[in-house]
Amino acid sequence: MSTAPSARPHRLGIRASGNVLGQPEARWNSHFLRACRGEPTTRTPIWLMRQAGRYMQHYRGIRAGSSFLDLCKNPDQAAEVTVYARDWLGVDAAIIFSDILIALEALGLPLEFTAGDGPRLAPLDGPAGVAALRDPLQAAADLGYVHEAIRRTVAALPPDIPCIGFCGAPFTLAAYAIEGGSSRQFARTRAFMYREPAAWHRLLERLVATLAPYLNQQVAAGAACLQIFDSWVGTLTRADFSEFVQPHLTHLISQIVDGVPVILFGTGTGHLLDLLAACGADVIGLDAAVDLDVAWRSLGGPQRISIQGNLDPAMLLAPTERLTAAAHAVLTAAAGRPGHIFNLGHGVFKETDPEQARRLVEVVHGG
Ligand code: CP3
């Protein structure tokens, strides 16, 4: 496995290779996909992480009749939630309604979502737990309900609106598996990494062997872009990232089919940006803690990589004037460079007034 390529040998080819998947013209030339490829657009595209969720009454209505996981596994309902949120907000892309943790369930770790407590998994038990994980190809095949939801979503979306597929990144998924749920310090994860490095690498290889076919099947079902959520990778030092994570992320991204941009998102990653960019993604997603202009300069110039972000999601709780000013500040930091995709720095809070989210979309669209 190669470790740290300095440029993006695989993904750079994508921009040159063009529409190899034969996507409809309107979608291929959409504002969103053009920005992902670093091409100029006549307006800045925007979508919001967690754009479909509890802050929306429509979602709460559908969710009232079933559990979150049942909703994820029902392709008709998952597609309906996805398409409704996209249409209501008027955003430039839809993200398939699903969750990163279902891949761990498919690998054999029982998963439940408890009200208030967030996700609970049966924690992965050391090297023996890694050996006991299910076969990666079987796990990817068991996630077919996501692919079916994508098919139905793409059929229902306007022709110029791409559907984004996604997965959790190897580090973030390993952390949920080892901790058995959410964590602040990732103490069990870090201990596992340092004390059982061979088992750690086997675990991340197993995750990559699941996620690569899972993502490519999402593309086959119609996803025109993929986002990899490495939500908690920013808790690592540069040295630990290079040793324990970078080879696996690079290997995952290198296996994605040509013609599909890859967005790599994490929070608290200001100190890792060059290392993340070297993993081969086309777009880096930033949280609100970094200055977008400074981050972009450090990534080596506007043509090299696209940037997604990075309005603080708490701004959606502010009065409209403050929200509008903050949105303009992000646009000013992006300075009209080709390759900017407007987004929040992290997901929409459930306390958000949906009308404020819709107003933000209008502001970014210049309305
Ligand atoms: O963005 C979207 O609109 C698509 C749907 C989506 C969800 N989760 C729906 C969801 C996406 C892309 C995710 C990704 C996800 N899931 C991440 C990475 C992004 C991030 O926030 O950093 C993570 C870490 C998870 C794991 C997860 N799922 C947690 C920690 C929780 C509990 C916390 C919470 O907000 O409730 C979930 C549940 C979850 N995922 C909900 C939704 C709409 C709420 C479930 C409910 O209806 O009760």
pLDDT at residue 6, rounded to an integer: 37
Tell me which residue has its CA closest to atom 34 in ligand 1: 118
CA of 347 to the centre of ligand 1 (A): 8
pLDDT band at residue 303 under the 50/70/90 scheme: low
CA of 24 to the centre of ligand 1 (A): 30
Q: pTM (2 decimals)?
A: 0.95
pLDDT tens by residue, 101-150: 999 999 999 999 988 788 999 999 899 999 999 999 999 999 999 999 99
- The yes-or-no verdict on residue 5 having pLDDT over 70 is no
Q: Which residue has the tokens 């979502």?
A: 113
User: CA nearest 47: which of 7, 12, 5, 96?
Assistant: 96
Tell me which residue has its CA closest to atom 8 in ligand 1: 99
Tell me which residue has its CA closest to atom 42 in ligand 1: 53
Residue type, 14: I
Q: How far is CA 22 from CA 16, 213, 220, 260, in A?
A: 15, 20, 12, 11
CA of 68 to the centre of ligand 1 (A): 10
Nearest atom, ligand 1, residue 63 CA: 47
Q: Which tokens hold the place of 91?
A: 């955003």
CA of 198 to the centre of ligand 1 (A): 30
DSSP state letters, 52-80: SSTTSHHHHHHHTTS-HHHHHT-HHHHHH
CA of 53 to the centre of ligand 1 (A): 8
Nearest atom, ligand 1, residue 51 CA: 3
CA 122 to chain centroid, in Å, comes to 24
Dist CA 236 CA 274 (whole Å): 14
Nearest atom, ligand 1, residue 182 CA: 30
pLDDT tens by residue, 310-366: 999 999 999 999 999 999 999 999 999 999 999 999 999 999 999 999 999 999 999
Pocket, ligand 1, Cβ cutoff 6 A? 49-54, 63, 68, 95, 97-101, 113, 118-119, 166, 182, 229, 231, 347
Nearest atom, ligand 1, residue 172 CA: 24
**Going from the N-terminus, what domains does the chain have, and what CATH number goes with each?**
25-364 (3.20.20.210)
User: CA nearest 51: which of 102, 88, 101, 100?
Assistant: 88
Dist CA 141 CA 328 (whole Å): 44
Which residues carry out catalysis? 50, 54, 63, 99, 176
Tell me which residue has its CA closest to atom 5 in ligand 1: 97
